[in-house]
């Protein structure tokens, strides 16, 4: 008896999967101890370049629900609505599903995982987070001799690719994004990548697994990289930092912090050296120190490898469904989080300006760790000119910092908005 597999979607990951499944078919069937056959593909759009051979194809996703000869459906269409309908219908018919879709899991994962549990069918999602890195498999072990206290990662390949190109080649943001799209890394709507939503969705899934809470995307604080400039990257570099888009989940006294945002990372930390489409996830544990996972975070073959890992695990009977939501999630507000900050302030080059910046920060209990007044005059559209003042603060609660920035922005000599980027202490 073979395992009959249906695939939904014909994008970069589906095409990667078809290629890997065909070139490794004997090996995969040997691992599963039975033939694995792709017997149906459905996608709302046919792509001529997809090598379907004799596999039946249709543009109606319901064909995957109604084909009772299918044992498993692999959902690779992305997005939420159609993917949700398809996964739910398949699970309700007792058919297992493998998905690479973090958006649908972040939005409907609690419900879908509950249906899978009730129906005793797998809903596997290794490919949904960090592409080719087996981070879901790692978290599923629950680290029995440990607790995971924190997760810090670079989990959006597109952001990392763009920041690397800006930093190492001086490529403009838009050009770097175009290259990431051409390489098939970006989402259909790349604002999900650069705006941080994609990383937020992945973080919500990782946190649910690590801390046994529900998937709560609305509790993730989310900032993207759209406002990061080559000057910010250069100024951070002069202080000894790289700018990365980080995802952070931290549990302290049952309160959980979940945030994705650009951050200054010390150049000697592993995360500062994770470049291009590479992803990295670091887990802080009680008894095994820091566990570090790195690898390609996007791309057809890398992501398809994780899909195939789920497929062979399910087919060979080794797959274990992870449980989540054992306890409610109590989230920490961003205003209550303490960080050091990088501030870039455009100020008029007049005597006393630096002193007023120092006074206002001090009145909020904020110390300056380093400050550089750049000799780079910037002429603005109204012909006035400003110079950047770049500051690193000591650790401060975010709410207090925001109040000080509001006061600074109300000064005539300081242009609004002030750029603030968190410095992340990875010790």
**So which residues are the catalytic ones?**
202
Q: How far is the CB of 298 from ligand HSE (least distance, A)?
A: 4
Inter-residue contact 332 to 256 (CB < 8 Å): yes
Residues that bind ligand HSE (CB under 6 A): 131, 156-158, 185-187, 193, 198, 297-298
Residue closer to ligand HSE (CB basis): 131 or 388: 131
CA angle 10, 15, 17 (to 5 degrees): 115
Residue closer to ligand HSE (CB basis): 129 or 401: 129
Helix (H, G, I), strand (E, B) or coil at 346: strand
For residue 359, report the phi and psi dihedrals to the nearest 5 degrees.
Answer: -65, -45
Residue closer to ligand HSE (CB basis): 126 or 187: 187
Burial of 23 (0-12, 13-18, 19+ CB in 10 A): exposed
Residue closer to ligand HSE (CB basis): 222 or 414: 222
The greatest distance separating any two alpha carbons of the chain, rounded to the nearest whole angstrom, comes to 83
User: Which of 263, 272, 268, 280 is CA-nearest to residue 424?
Assistant: 263
Q: How far is the CB of 198 from ligand HSE (least distance, A)?
A: 5
Q: How far is the CB of 125 from ligand HSE (least distance, A)?
A: 11
- The count of other CB atoms within 10 Å of the CB of residue 16 is 21
Q: How far is the CB of 20 from ligand HSE (least distance, A)?
A: 16
Residue closer to ligand HSE (CB basis): 204 or 346: 204
Q: How far is the CB of 8 from ligand HSE (least distance, A)?
A: 17
Which stretch of DSSP H or E encloses residue 297?
none
For residue 283, report the phi and psi dihedrals to the nearest 5 degrees.
Answer: -115, 125
Burial of 399 (0-12, 13-18, 19+ CB in 10 A): middle
């Amino acid at each position: 008896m073979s395992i009959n597999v249906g695939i939904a979607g014909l994008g970069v990951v589906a095409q990667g999967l078809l290629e890997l499944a065909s070139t490794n078919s004997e090996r995969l069937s040997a691992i599963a101890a039975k033939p694995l056959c792709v017997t149906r593909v459905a996608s709302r759009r046919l792509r001529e370049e997809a090598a379907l051979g004799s596999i039946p194809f249709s543009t109606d996703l319901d064909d995957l629900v109604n084909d009772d000869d299918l044992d498993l459906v692999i959902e690779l269409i992305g997005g939420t609505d159609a993917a949700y309908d398809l996964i739910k219908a398949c699970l309700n018919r007792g058919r297992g599903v493998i998905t690479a879709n973090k958006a649908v899991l972040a939005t409907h994962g609690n419900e879908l995982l509950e249906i899978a549990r009730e129906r005793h069918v797998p809903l596997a999602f290794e490919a949904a987070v960090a592409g080719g890195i087996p981070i879901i498999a790692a978290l599923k072990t629950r680290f029995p001799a440990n607790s995971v206290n924190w997760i810090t990662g670079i989990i959006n390949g597109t952001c990392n690719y763009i920041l690397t190109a800006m930093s190492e080649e001086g490529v403009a943001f838009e050009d770097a994004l175009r290259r990431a799209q051409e390489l098939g890394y970006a989402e259909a709507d790349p604002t999900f990548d650069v705006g941080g939503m994609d990383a937020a969705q992945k973080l919500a899934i990782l946190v649910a697994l690590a801390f046994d809470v529900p998937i709560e995307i609305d509790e993730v604080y989310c900032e993207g990289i759209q406002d990061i400039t080559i000057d910010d990257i250069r100024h951070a570099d002069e202080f000894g930092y790289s700018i990365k888009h980080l995802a952070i989940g931290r549990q302290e006294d049952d309160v959980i912090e979940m945030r994705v945002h650009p951050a200054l990372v010390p150049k000697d930390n592993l995360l500062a050296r994770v470049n291009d489409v590479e992803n990295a996830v670091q887990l802080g544990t009680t008894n095994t120190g820091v566990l570090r996972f790195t690898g390609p975070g996007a791309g057809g073959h890398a992501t398809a490898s994780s899909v195939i890992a789920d497929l062979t695990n399910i087919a060979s009977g080794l797959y274990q469904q992870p449980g989540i939501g054992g306890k409610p999630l109590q989230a920490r507000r961003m205003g209550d989080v303490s960080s050091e900050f990088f501030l870039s302030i455009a100020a008029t080059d007049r005597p006393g300006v630096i002193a007023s910046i120092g006074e206002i920060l001090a009145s909020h209990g904020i110390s300056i760790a380093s400050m550089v007044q750049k000799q780079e005059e910037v002429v603005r559209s109204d012909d006035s000119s400003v110079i950047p003042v770049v500051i690193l603060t000591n650790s401060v609660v975010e709410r207090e910092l925001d109040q000080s920035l509001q006061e600074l922005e109300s000064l005539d000599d300081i242009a609004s908005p002030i750029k603030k980027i968190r410095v992340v202490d990875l010790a």
